Chain A
């Protein structure tokens, strides 16, 4: 059993489910994406568009085959069932507002070889069970919208898909662990992942401190949601980070002297010098002398001055800048995809790699809606007789 031997069926839209299956496709698994006649909603999540579909769709669905089925129809449900009967896992993330949705627990019972991973937004129990969510609503409900923006101002979202990606990564883990367990125990199983729980799980590092009863409250960012927006340290042409570690007092003193701030080391407000740099609430007040100096310098000049003194200063990069950075070029995080549209030919690859093994460089472009319907249905209609019969569409 290898990842390359796996057949993963994806009946999912948006970010979480498709991104989970994408990572299996990246490692060589076969991924069949089942789409309704309307298609995955992310085909319309743009501009930017790459051809007829949005760039977001092209990037989350490379290397997959698209089969169009109308699951409100009995004959199409039977076709899905024939595919599931030979699959290793299904990633299911249905729109709770649609008709004809399979009961995924029943599907798992009908197909004992199939790991069924159902993803939802808010969880299987409780008053919000069965309601659809979104990236923004899950962020809002897990408190992440308090970590950016101005406290007291309009709510602000974290600008990238932390809820969708948390659920995608947990779903990937659920399927991999389920497949490994199936090999050991002989039986597959149903497993559920919710975006809200996934995002809260990633927040355990904070929840345990928020839970209260801590020894003291200063330090480690605990006042976070009440500080102003964190924009780092402004320079003449941008923003930078600025840090000396706690064991670098002498370096900090030398740096201050060089910057014309030699008086700080003797000032009582700077006795706790470390709290005046890097992150933390005191730097908003006591960071002013550094800010005045940095405002006269370029980001490159501040980076050089701090790093030469032994500290750490990094630029606030745009996407263009980070992708062009020499360190990122060495890691080479992008992969090539032979898409007709230039906007989809470079995409973000797998976040982990096996050292000493060649990386996959050949990826098929994302499929058109239903592009593989005929070929896949012909292949699975010819499935060996005698396979377990099952109702993939129990209906709700």
Chain B
């Protein structure tokens, strides 16, 4: 199952989730990836929960990787890292500002050894400024970047997510975009690049739709399960459980009105176009709610799906893990491993017709050190 990046080599010296998930994405796309750790190890190894003593975050953020432990403070180990970097295409790091240079794997040093090297440097707040010394993590970046100001009930307090990691993984997605773009550029220039990604800018990009409302002069407010710019797009109470319903286009709005048995609403001047419905939300929603309350969620779901109107039940892992739709799409993948037992993860997010790529468990920390030191990059990969 080779991926489109087969033959590319990634030396991933990053820790936690921000950099490491980028390495996993490149690995799923077919690149050979070495996870380089110090003898102290990636701090995320001990973050709970664990499976067989190793943090699940470490396991998930280091799929598709071959583990290598080197002590970059020792000249002989540094030389080994340099030899690998000289033959690598991509290097990923998220050390605190200044540390990479100090331990001999800064951009200046590695690009001198390998001018084709694409070097991705990730941080929370960037390399300079008043916040540089603050160790940014996902639960810090969420409130800092304003994202909590659009979460929660109308009129309520700003809300963080109770589960974390999404801003880390978003930053990794942006690193991967930058790396792939630099690869295309390298085909012309023959040279690598230094890519800088910050969690702040990744968080801004993640929120660009809501930011556009703010920058246009209408700062978005939390509205529970509804949203400022689109109506209807919210949960409706049915006879048994809430149902998520959206009409995001003229076609969907017309089809929704038909399903609800109120086709005349589609052309009512108060509701005909989305901007009208946003303005007349308080008149429209009670009309729709009254109709939804008359039947069950399943009743409406079936009819809305057949009419091609977006609708869904609010669900959780325990419900969807056995759902036929998710399994038939291979959106969940289950591995049996000898080190950590059963691992349930998501399927690869791209389905290439010719080069599908694959997700596979990584090695334990440093698990390929002796092979890599003996055979270099030839020891990595399937």
Q: Tell which of A72-80, A134-142, A256-264, A380-388 binds the partner.
A: A134-142
A268 adjacent to chain B (CB < 8 Å): no
Whether B355 contacts A214 by the Cβ 8 Å rule is no
Q: Mark A25-42, 1 if CB is under 8 A from B, else 0.
A: 001000000000010010
Q: Check A162/B213 contact, CB under 8 A, given A177-B180, A216-B49, A331-B200.
A: no
Partner of B152, one of A45, A194, A229, A318: A229
Q: Check A189/B151 contact, CB under 8 A, given A59-B208, A214-B51, A328-B200.
A: no
A286 adjacent to chain B (CB < 8 Å): no
Whether A169 contacts B177 by the Cβ 8 Å rule is yes
User: A357 CA to B182 CA in the complex, in Å?
Assistant: 12
- Looking at chain B's contact residues, is the secondary structure mostly helix, strand, loop, or mixed? mixed
Find chain A residues with CB under 8 A from B180 CB.
172-173, 176-177, 180
Whether B246 contacts A136 by the Cβ 8 Å rule is yes
Closest beta carbon of chain B to A310's beta carbon, Å: 11
Whether A132 contacts B310 by the Cβ 8 Å rule is yes
A312 adjacent to chain B (CB < 8 Å): yes
Q: Check A140/B312 contact, CB under 8 A, given A45-B229, A333-B204.
A: yes
**Tier of interface size on chain B:** 35 or more
Whether A131 contacts B308 by the Cβ 8 Å rule is yes
Q: Mark A221-251, 1 if CB is under 8 A from B, else 0.
A: 1101101011110100001110101000000
User: A153 CA to B187 CA in the complex, in Å?
Assistant: 54
User: A243 CA to B140 CA in the complex, in Å?
Assistant: 9
Closest beta carbon of chain A to B244's beta carbon, Å: 4
Q: Using CB atoms, name the residue of chain A closest to B254.
A: A97
Q: Mark A12-30, 1 if CB is under 8 A from B, else 0.
A: 0111000100010001000
Whether A55 contacts B212 by the Cβ 8 Å rule is yes
Closest beta carbon of chain A to B246's beta carbon, Å: 3
Whether A193 contacts B350 by the Cβ 8 Å rule is yes
Q: Check A320/B214 contact, CB under 8 A, given A59-B209, A125-B329.
A: yes
Closest beta carbon of chain B to A227's beta carbon, Å: 5
User: A207 CA to B128 CA in the complex, in Å?
Assistant: 35
Whether A202 contacts B177 by the Cβ 8 Å rule is no
Find chain B residues with CB under 8 A from A394 CB.
none
Most buried by A among B121, B227, B308, B317: B317
Please report which residues of chain B, range 148-199, place their CB below 8 angstroms from some CB of chain A when the two chains form the complex: 148-153, 156-166, 168-170, 173-178, 180-185, 187-189, 193-198
User: A227 CA to B25 CA in the complex, in Å?
Assistant: 31
User: A125 CA to B328 CA in the complex, in Å?
Assistant: 6
B316 adjacent to chain A (CB < 8 Å): yes
Q: Check A317/B140 contact, CB under 8 A, given A1-B188, A126-B329, A215-B51.
A: no
Find chain A residues with CB under 8 A from B376 CB.
none
Q: Tell which of A289-297, A343-351, A369-377 binds the partner.
A: A343-351
Whether A56 contacts B57 by the Cβ 8 Å rule is no
Q: Mark A179-205, 1 if CB is under 8 A from B, else 0.
A: 111011001011111101110111111
Whether B56 contacts A214 by the Cβ 8 Å rule is yes
Q: Check A137/B312 contact, CB under 8 A, given A27-B181, A331-B200, A333-B201.
A: yes
Closest beta carbon of chain A to B26's beta carbon, Å: 9
Closest beta carbon of chain B to A243's beta carbon, Å: 7
Q: Check A178/B140 contact, CB under 8 A, given A97-B308, A137-B246.
A: no
Whether B175 contacts A161 by the Cβ 8 Å rule is no
Whether B219 contacts A320 by the Cβ 8 Å rule is yes
Most buried by B among A153, A157, A192: A157
Whether B184 contacts A1 by the Cβ 8 Å rule is yes
Whether A318 contacts B215 by the Cβ 8 Å rule is no
B341 adjacent to chain A (CB < 8 Å): yes
Whether A155 contacts B242 by the Cβ 8 Å rule is yes
A210 adjacent to chain B (CB < 8 Å): yes
Partner of B47, one of A147, A220, A322, A350: A220
Find chain A residues with CB under 8 A from B50 CB.
214-216
Q: Tell which of B34-42, B76-84, B272-280, B365-373 binds the partner.
A: B272-280
Whether A124 contacts B351 by the Cβ 8 Å rule is yes
Whether B130 contacts A327 by the Cβ 8 Å rule is yes
B59 adjacent to chain A (CB < 8 Å): yes
Whether A48 contacts B213 by the Cβ 8 Å rule is yes
Closest beta carbon of chain A to B324's beta carbon, Å: 6
Q: Using CB atoms, name the residue of chain B closest to A196.
A: B331
Find chain A residues with CB under 8 A from B220 CB.
159, 319
Whether B17 contacts A205 by the Cβ 8 Å rule is yes
A300 adjacent to chain B (CB < 8 Å): no
Closest 7 CB pairs of A and B: A219-B48, A159-B150, A211-B344, A343-B216, A352-B178, A134-B246, A55-B216
Given A50-B216, A204-B24, A333-B201, 20 extra CB contacts under 8 A: A2-B189, A95-B251, A136-B246, A140-B313, A142-B320, A148-B151, A150-B153, A155-B242, A156-B159, A174-B352, A201-B348, A204-B345, A214-B49, A215-B52, A227-B162, A279-B164, A323-B214, A347-B212, A347-B215, A352-B177
A-B contact pairs, 6 of them (CB 8 A): A157-B226, A178-B352, A180-B4, A220-B47, A316-B149, A354-B195
